[in-house]
Amino acid sequence: MESKRLKKALEEIDRFNSEDPRQEIVDGVAYPQELIYSKRLTEWVLKLDPQPSEALRIAARGQHICRWTIPRENYPMGRGGYLRWRQVLKSFHAEKVGEILQEMGYEEDFIQRAKRLILKKNLKKDADTQTLEDALCLVFFETQFVDLMEKTPEDKMKVIVRKTWKKMSPKGRDVALQMKLPFEEKRFVEETLSAEIYGVELAKLLEQTRPLRDAVATHGIYTSIESLDQLRIFMEHHVFAVWDFMSLVKSLQRTLTCTSVPWVPQGDPLSRRLINEITLDEESDETEEGKYLSHFEIYLQAMQQCGADTTRVKDLIGRIQRGEDIREALWHSEVPGPARAFVGKTWEIVESQSPHKIAAAFTVGREDVIPEMFQNILKSIEKRFPGKLTRFAYYLERHIHEDADRHGPMAIRMLVRLCRGSPDKWQEALEVAQIALEARREFLDAVAQKITQNRSDSGSPKAFSRPIDQMKTITDLPANLVRHVSI
């Protein structure tokens, strides 16, 4: 229960902060900037500590009281001037809140306590100070990080992220890692802190694969798709990568969990949980219509909506369903060459039956690069075919968010658990990740070449020449579109 005195003190702090001439627009309404800031800080404090002390409530609300009255410009440029400014501000906020509390009749001990919190004395030892600091860092990640990243060089930004992280408690860090940030920023934070969060081995692996990961995530093919015919060529190849991904998922599930009867507990329970959760989404995700489909089946719907040819992938799957060995099926079906080579490489990794190798291909070669890759494809198709390819857009959007926020971090945790304590496994994971990424780059290069051929071909191949107005809409598709291709 909020005491009368506390309520009055908070109102008085709000009254001062309401005088901030700087405005921030939230949901179309302009608010004084410092007032909004103090409310956000309070919200985070309450999330971290649902029953905060009275002094903590006041310190959170008054942490930046009337900050605009002492602008940065009053102090010299450079680090010395900046530190001086911060010092003066801190004392000013503490004194100002102290005066308000005195007027409200608070005892001297209480006033000193609130001031010490605002001055952030005893961080790491005083639980209230730590909660306040965690909340400040969370407000920073939530509302200032994206803007700051835009105008700050990468090296400097890494220092800022590491310093912020150092100030936070394990609980605050956990909350920060769950926070929804745009995926570029999230990826940047996770990579910068990968050694702190997951250990130096993973940080090294990410560092060493970075050029390849960037080459795949920002490949020129995504912006080179100009026509529907070219998009169809892309999808008619890419669908094989969508399909073979499921074999990586399932082979991990097979080795990390018990998939035979009678059931017995098998392996590390957390890894079991992680792969089961990922499989649940990949194999039976909830669609926009509230039904359940695998991502592969959603992709087939997207292909049909844009008029792409699904016969070759269905033929391959039909052969496998009839019991043909995958290598024979790949050989006998009319799978396009680049896709055949790519699936072949994936299959070699699957056949290794080594969980850490499969997890490396799955995590670094797929889940990690997909959000950025798909973001680039999405931008391209929204620009070229606005509002037309709703199913494909849904598929891409789903992956941008799911893989960045959930599957990517989950897959990394799984990989770390599978390699932990074994330099040999880390080395093998690195090698397989590089093989998987190389294969992906070669695949994209080859598909890009096909797209270029299509562009320079004056008479486009008939299979790719359906105009956009003949495209099926999703509602035209038969209800059980993918009945024959379930795997």
Residues at the contact surface with Fe ion, assessed by CB under 5 A? 282, 295, 403, 407
The nearest distance, CB 96 to Fe ion, in angstroms, is 50
- Angle at Cα 350 formed by Cα 378 and Cα 421, nearest 5°? 95
Closest-CB residue for Fe ion?
Answer: 295
Least distance in Å: CB of 359 to Fe ion?
13
DSSP state of 23: E
Q: Which is nearer to Fe ion, 411 or 447 (CB)?
A: 411
Q: Which is nearer to Fe ion, 44 or 362 (CB)?
A: 362
Nearer to Fe ion, 60 or 317 (CB): 317
Give 64 or 295: the residue with its C-beta nearer to Fe ion.
295
Taking every pair of Cα atoms in the chain, the longest distance, rounded to a whole number of angstroms, is 87
Question: What Å distances lie between residue 213 and 173, 263, 276, 436, CA to CA?
Answer: 26, 39, 26, 10
Compare residues 295 and 413 and give the one whose CB is closer to Fe ion.
295
Query: Are the C-beta atoms of 307 and 232 separated by less than 8 Å?
Result: yes
Shortest spacing between CB 369 and Fe ion, in angstroms: 11
Min dist CB 398 to Fe ion, Å, is 7
Contacts with 335 (C-beta within 8 Å, 6 or more apart), sequence order: 240, 312, 313, 316, 343
Burial classification of residue 352, based on how many CB atoms lie within 10 Å of its CB (0-12 exposed, 13-18 middle, 19 or more buried) = middle
Least distance from C-beta 241 to Fe ion, angstroms? 11
Exposure of 342 by Cβ count < 10 A (0-12 exposed, 13-18 middle, 19+ buried)?
buried
As measured in angstroms, the least distance from the Cβ of 25 to Fe ion is: 35
User: How many of the other CB atoms lie within 10 Å of CB of 158?
Assistant: 16
> Which two structure tokens, joined as six digits, stand for 307?
């008029």
Q: What's the rounded Cα separation, in Å, for the pair 132 and 395?
A: 40
User: Which CB, 188 or 243, lies closer to Fe ion?
Assistant: 243
Written as six digits, the tokens of 462 are 């008939």
Strand, coil or helix: 288: coil
Strand pairing of 23-26 and 29-32?
Answer: antiparallel
Give backbone dihedrals phi and psi of 325, rounded to 5 degrees, phi first.
Answer: -65, 145
Q: How many CB atoms lie within 10 A of CB 150?
A: 9
Instruction: In angstroms, give the least distance from the CB of 469 to Fe ion.
Output: 30
Cis before 262 (ω within 30): yes
Q: How far is the CB of 245 from Fe ion (least distance, A)?
A: 7
* CB 403 to Fe ion: min, Å: 4
Question: Which residue number, 49 or 403, has a Cβ lying nearer to Fe ion?
Answer: 403
Q: Whose Cβ is closer to Fe ion: residue 37's or residue 392's?
A: 392
Beta bridge partners of 26: 29
Rounded CA-CA distance 337/314 in Å is 16
Which is nearer to Fe ion, 319 or 407 (by Cβ)?
A: 407
> Which is nearer to Fe ion, 96 or 295 (by Cβ)?
295
Q: How far is Cα 102 from Cα 362, in angstroms, rounded to an integer?
A: 61
Nearest by Cα to 358 from 303, 418, 408, 399: 418
CB of 187 vs Fe ion, minimal distance in Å: 15
To Fe ion, the closest distance from the beta carbon of 133 in angstroms equals 34
Nearer to Fe ion, 138 or 359 (CB): 359
Helix axes 337-351, 228-256, angle to 10 degrees: 10
